[in-house]
Amino acid sequence: MASWAAGGANSVSWSRSSGRFDHRRSVLVDRTVVAVKYETALGRQEGVMQAKEILIHALKGIALAALAPALVALVKWVLGSAGLCGF
């Protein structure tokens, strides 16, 4: 199953009112999908491994989303100090 269909790291959760990414909703969806996947695995190793894989990808996505503002600032600082852009 594709991670976007399963609510994994690539799932997008936008707030309609502000047009901004809503981290809390994404975390809730990811945790719910992983919990359902884990519970419905019924002890089958393949299902448990898929649930763990979804959780790992979700955590990577959340970490990247949390670090995104700092990464953008770092790129602007490096490019700005090198005189490569007008930020």
State the average pLDDT for the chain.
75
Are the CB atoms for 47 and 41 separated by under 8 Å? Answer: yes
Tokens at 32, concatenated: 């719910």
H-helix or E-strand spanning residue 76: helix 45-81
C-beta of residue 67 within 8 angstroms of C-beta of residue 42: no
Residue 84 CA neighbour count, 13 Å, CB half: 7
pTM confidence score: 0.56
Find where tokens 């490019």 sit. Answer: 79
- Quote the CA–CA distance of 63 and 53 in Å, as a whole number: 15
**8-state DSSP, 36:** H
How does pLDDT run across 11-32, given as a tens digit for each residue?
445 445 555 656 667 777 878 8
Domain boundaries, the chain: 1-87
